[in-house]
Amino acid sequence: MFTYKDTLTWIRLTAQYIEDNKDYLTDLDRAIGDADHGSNMDRGFKKVMSRITTFEDKDIGSMLNMVGMVLISSVGGAAGPLYGTFYLQAAKAINSKKELSPQDIVALLEAGTEGLIKRGKTNPGDKTIIDSLQPGVEALKKSLRDGKDITAAMQDAVQSAEEGMKHTIPLVAKKGRASYLGERSTGHQDPGATSAFYILKALHDVFISG
């Protein structure tokens, strides 16, 4: 089972991956955006980490809800509301559970992704966060249906998310600041799809280390 402690590790790893790659994310955003995605996401997750050290609730939904609220209030641009929505909707999917089954993991990721789609009014292929998250979630669901354990299924999820992330390179952006560039947005990996990949990679790594 995926515990409250595992959730803390997931958030900490996500924050670490964002910090480690903030310059890379900013470079990606410099090509097709405002050159602030890395710094914004890093600031947001640092705020999250400052709250986690004093967070007393012991249910996973409350933890994810807190993450969402902090990101909304501290991450600039569109990323704050989008990533905040991801965590808020994920929290709703599991409510006050203190342990999660593999199907609960699917439910929270699926709810978060669907929340992003509705909030951003985006579809797969629009060169956004969704292009890594959705294939990752679909791969996770399929692998679990095929009888794989959660660790192997998460490996498939991360691989599919990475493929989706890289697939944004030839796409023309249809949403956000990058869409203003039209055809000139091709040839560049989407920074949002990249930071979303780090979220799934962090979750995967909890199971690997566990």
Q: Which CATH architecture has domain 2-209?
A: Alpha Horseshoe (1.25)
Residue 210 pLDDT class (50, 70, 90 cuts):
low
153-157, Cβ contacts within 8 angstroms, sequence gap of 24 or more: 153/102, 154/200, 154/203, 154/204, 154/207, 155/204, 157/200, 157/204
Encode pLDDT of 118-127 as tens digits.
998 988 999 9
Encode pLDDT of 38-53 as tens digits.
999 999 999 999 998 7
Cα(8)–Cα(79) distance, integer angstroms: 22
**Mean of pLDDT over the chain:** 93
Buried b (16+ CB within 10 A) or exposed e, 40-60: bbbbbbebbbeebeeeeeebb
Residue 102 pLDDT class (50, 70, 90 cuts):
very high
pLDDT higher than threshold 70 for residue 148: yes
| Helix/strand/coil for 80 | helix
| Helix/strand/coil for 11 | helix
Q: Report pLDDT for 144.
A: 97
Cα(62)–Cα(104) distance, integer angstroms: 15
Encode pLDDT of 189-201 as tens digits.
999 999 999 999 9
pLDDT higher than threshold 80 for residue 209: no
Residues whose CB is less than 8 angstroms from the CB of residue 186 and which lie 6 or more positions away in sequence, other chains included:
169, 170, 171, 172
Pairing of strands 2-3, 99-100: antiparallel
In Å, how far are 18, 50, 152 from 37, measured between CA atoms?
A: 10, 20, 31
pLDDT higher than threshold 90 for residue 132: yes
Residue with tokens 């593999």: 102
Percentage of the chain exceeding pLDDT 90: 78
Report pTM: 0.95
Cα(84)–Cα(92) distance, integer angstroms: 12
Section 63-92 average pLDDT: 93
* Bridge partner list, 80: none
Residue 63 pLDDT class (50, 70, 90 cuts):
very high
Residue 76 pLDDT class (50, 70, 90 cuts):
confident
Interhelix angle 37-52/4-20, rounded to 10 degrees, is: 150
Q: Report pLDDT for 180.
A: 67
Residue 89 pLDDT class (50, 70, 90 cuts):
very high
